[in-house]
Amino acid sequence: MLLFLGNMTKKKLHFNSRVIHGGQKIDKSFGAVMPPIYQTSTYAQSTPGGHKGYEYSRTHNPTRTALENSLASIEGGKYGLAFASGLAAMDTVFKLLKPGDEVIVTHDLYGGSYRLFTKIFQVFKLKFHFIDLQDIKEVKSKINNKTKLIWVETPTNPMMNVVDIDSISHIAKSNKLLLAVDNTFASPYLQNPLIFGADIVMHSATKYIAGHSDVILGALIVNSDDLHDRLSFIQNASGAVPGPMDCFLTLRGIKTLAVRMERHCFNGKKIAEFLSNSDSIEKVYWPGLKNHPNHKIAKKQMNDYGGMISFTPKGSNFKNAIKIIENLKIFTLAESLGGVESLAGHPASMTHASIPKKIREKSGVSDSLIRLSVGIEDYQDLIDDIIQAINS
Ligand SMILES: *Cc1c(COP(=O)(O)O)cnc(C)c1O
């Protein structure tokens, strides 16, 4: 029986097996193969404090524990922590800091992250330096005795820039800074930042990890006992935890993460190549292309290149880009990414609308930029859809 497969074989199993078995136990009550949805807020105690490890579901819930162990296993970390959303997970990380502390951040990042930093934590007197993390000199120049954390997003959303986690982690270590990596775009299938020296890996599990566009959930994965203690204290004290049903849906999604990612990468490559060879397209941003400025770093730290692609049509402007997106029939015009179905979005007016135009355009998010989350449909149908959308 594979009753305690989790800890025993975490190191030995390959990723394809860890998504299914990593950190999982067969349920003790009835041998349920999938963890039951423990839809309960509280747990009976025989005497005050006499419980079986669970007393209140904000603190712990068995379905959440199963998910947290799975998250740790697939990221190759010691501890996983699940949250009500990706932003709730980030919120928890920044509560490790105190007023006056400074943070160095990728200038090219998810709009909601930018909003959390500037509209919430700046009010609580954290200071953020938004810079190009590929420029090591610039990173070093921003470090002073108040600096506490470097926040990396790679590949970045939506420009698909790749930051060298290993070299940033060297700077973080030699200056005793925490390094946190938003690994949402890559998913644990493509990239495991802990290997390159990150202290905290964050995921919007809403995206590839859950993978079916049916749940909002966030995750943190760490190796350090101390960091885990501090983060789980905040998780319980601030309370942004996911419900058991959402934990179950995410666990179910994780079972197919490896096979889904394989197809996302395959389709991503087909579509990126099609776009690169098309006369109607000006520029394609996909780290798997040899002419991508960070292709070498991507090759070093990623196992493949994923299904996120951005592009600008030739001679396009705001109106024109919107028209193409509206013409798509298989790609759905929607926020979000990482689901089995293909989505298309217009970052300037959607995901990145909360970033001021001047700052947005500086990092390349122009009015004509279109972002694709390539799903797992047949790639030929997706290519045909793009052709008809451009030509109609
Ligand atoms: C979606 C997303 C988030 C936020 O996650 P939610 O689950 O929507 O709260 C953070 N970072 C990146 C890169 C994302 O794509």
- Evaluate: CB of 87 within 6 angstroms of ligand 1: yes
Calpha distance 53→45 (Å, rounded): 10
The residue to which tokens 């079916």 are assigned? 212
Ligand 1 in reach of 6 Cβ (< 6 A): no
- Asked, colleague to colleague, whether 15-255 and 258-391 share their fold, the answer is no
Strands (E), the chain: 79-83, 102-106, 127-131, 147-153, 178-182, 200-204, 218-222, 281-285, 308-313, 332-333, 343-345, 370-373
Q: Which atom of ligand 1 is nearest to the CA of 217?
A: 7
Local structure of residue 304 (DSSP, 8 states) = S
Per the residue annotation, which of 108, 164, 182, 199 is the catalytic one?
182
Active-site option among 27, 43, 58, 101: 58
Task: Say how far apart CA 390 and CA 392 lie, in whole Å.
Answer: 6
Mean pLDDT across 66-79 = 98
Active site residue 304: no
* pTM for this entry: 0.95
Summarize pLDDT for 110-125 with one digit per residue, the tens.
889 999 999 999 999 9
Does 2 score more than 50 pLDDT?
A: no
CATH class of the 15-255 domain in this structure: alpha beta
Q: How far is the CA of 249 from the centre of ligand 1 (A)?
A: 17
Comparing 318 with 205, the larger pLDDT belongs to 205
Beta-strand pair 102-106/127-131: parallel
Phi-psi region of 154 (alpha: psi -120 to 50; beta: other; left: phi over 0): beta
Q: Please check the confidence at residue 6 and state whether its pLDDT lies above 60.
A: no
Q: What is the pLDDT of residue 359?
A: 81
Q: What residue spans define the domains of the chain?
A: 15-255, 258-391
Predicted confidence at residue 108, as pLDDT, reads 84
Q: Look at domain 258-391 and name its CATH class.
A: alpha beta
Told to judge if 182 belongs to the known catalytic residues of this protein, a careful annotator would answer yes
82, β-bridge pairs: 219
Which DSSP symbol is given to 118? I
Query: 111 CB under 6 A from ligand 1?
Result: no
Residues 165-179 pLDDT 10s: 999 999 999 999 999
Q: Report whether 306 contacts 187 (CB < 8 A).
A: yes
Report residue 149's pLDDT band, with 50, 70 and 90 as the boundaries.
very high
Closest atom of ligand 1 to CA, residue 87: 9
Nearest atom in ligand 1 to 205's CA? 7
The arithmetic mean of pLDDT across residues 94-108, rounded, is 96
DSSP annotation string for 271-295: HHHHHHH-TTEEEEE-TTSTTSTTH
Return d(Cα 162, Cα 295) in angstroms, integer: 8
User: Does residue 240 surpass a pLDDT of 90?
Assistant: yes
- The CB of 184 under 6 Å from ligand 1? The reply is yes
Of all protein residues, the one whose alpha carbon is nearest to atom 8 of ligand 1 is 86
The catalytic position among 38, 54, 79, 110 is 110
86 C-alpha to ligand 1 centroid (Å): 5
pLDDT confidence band for 11 (50 / 70 / 90): low
Determine the 3-state secondary structure of 16 from DSSP: helix
Q: Which long-range contacts (CB under 8 A, 24 or more apart) does 364-368 make?
A: 364/108, 364/159, 365/108, 365/158, 365/159, 366/312, 367/317, 367/318, 367/321, 368/312, 368/313, 368/316, 368/317, 368/318, 368/320, 368/321
When mean pLDDT is compared across 9-13, 73-77, 289-293, the lowest value belongs to: 9-13
Q: Which of 110, 191, 336, 351 to mutate to test the pocket of ligand 1 (most atoms within 8 A of CB)?
A: 110
Ligand 1 contacts CB of residue 85 (under 6 A): yes
Q: Which residues pair with 153 in a beta bridge?
A: 182
